[in-house]
Homo-oligomer: A and B are copies of this chain.
Amino acid sequence: MIKETLNKKKESAELGFGSKNYNESVRFLNQDGTVNIKRKVTDKHIGFDMFHWLLGIKWGQFFALVFFSYGAVNTLFAIIYFSIGVDKFGGIEAGSGIENFLQLFFFSAQTLTTVGYGHIYPNSSLISTVSSIESMFGLMGFALVTGILYGRFAKPKADIQYSNKALISPYNDITGFMFRIANKKQNELIETECQLVLAINNLETKKRDFHFLDLERSKINFLPLTWTLVHPIDDKSQLYEVTQDEFNQRDGEFIILIKSITDTYFHTVYSRMSYKASEIAWNAKFVPMKQMPHKDGSISINLNDIHSYDKL
């Protein structure tokens, strides 16, 4: 039985998801840590936040966008140059309209990137004016693109591998909720802290309650291998004597909030995850990670093993 009354002893958790009773089963956090409540703002006065969007899209999309924009800007300038007149350029080899346009397109590319070979060159003030604006525009545009490129590259993040399943299983003399994490990256994560929240339907109030759950240990200094986080389900826990059926019926969700510091630039980073009923194994035990020592003193672990557990 889930003990709502216990909640009165400690501050009830407020994650900001509200506490409506959702008719269907609800997942607040996706497994990749994104918030499942997508806000679509329909206020026309609010501009689109391009910067965060460009930092967040996939690499393929990003490069496609850069190439497309490069082509589009050059086409635009080629049209301007073409409409001013091909005869206003020096070094151009007169040809068909298409050929001339292509030469102006490439002149534009050479101007935008400031490569400026010079075999084609502006031979009138108007063309010179446009091309001097284009080269300046190119410098600023590429600076922005490469700034975002670097920003994407250098973006601090906690790349944490969570075990696919969390377990609710015998633990010491009682029961425990447990899951495992590891650092996927080669750089160290230091001062890693974890908060565990239970979201569950309250059958009386018909609302969704949130409870902070104590962790046996909520902070470690280093994360060189794996870390098993345990919430002991004792008589001080909201989950004391809960059954799998009750948990599923009340649509429980474990929400995990992790805060850490990357050891390269000492950025504070955050990671989040959630386990829903279907991702919890009852009465199981994690298979201890195999640590293969090497001659150089290093230890290999296989992060695929982090998911392994045995049914009891």
Report whether B146 and A51 are in contact in the complex, using a CB–CB cutoff of 8 Å: no
- Which of these, B125, B146, B187, contacts A102 with CB under 8 Å? B125
Q: Is A244 close to B, CB under 8 A?
A: no
Chain B: CB-nearest residue to A192: B16
- Which of these, B36, B114, B266, contacts A114 with CB under 8 Å? B114
Q: Is A142 close to B, CB under 8 A?
A: yes
Chain B: CB-nearest residue to A99: B125
Report whether B145 and A140 are in contact in the complex, using a CB–CB cutoff of 8 Å: yes
Report whether A154 and B51 are in contact in the complex, using a CB–CB cutoff of 8 Å: yes
Q: Is A136 close to B, CB under 8 A?
A: yes
Give the interface size class of chain A: 35 or more
Alpha-carbon gap, A221 to B33, bound state (A):
13
- Which of these, B16, B129, B153, contacts A223 with CB under 8 Å? B16
Report whether A53 and B147 are in contact in the complex, using a CB–CB cutoff of 8 Å: no
Q: Is A294 close to B, CB under 8 A?
A: yes
Report whether B147 and A140 are in contact in the complex, using a CB–CB cutoff of 8 Å: no
Residues of B contacting A40 with CB < 8 Å?
292, 294, 298-301
Task: Knowing A116-B110, A135-B113, A264-B56, say if A142 contacts B144 (CB, 8 Å).
Answer: no
Q: Is A8 close to B, CB under 8 A?
A: no
- Interface window among A178-186, A232-240, A275-283: A178-186
- Interface window among A42-50, A79-87, A168-176, A246-254: A42-50
What are 16 A-B pairs at a CB distance below 8 A? A16-B220, A17-B222, A38-B297, A41-B301, A46-B184, A49-B159, A51-B154, A56-B264, A110-B116, A110-B132, A111-B115, A113-B135, A113-B136, A118-B118, A139-B142, A156-B265
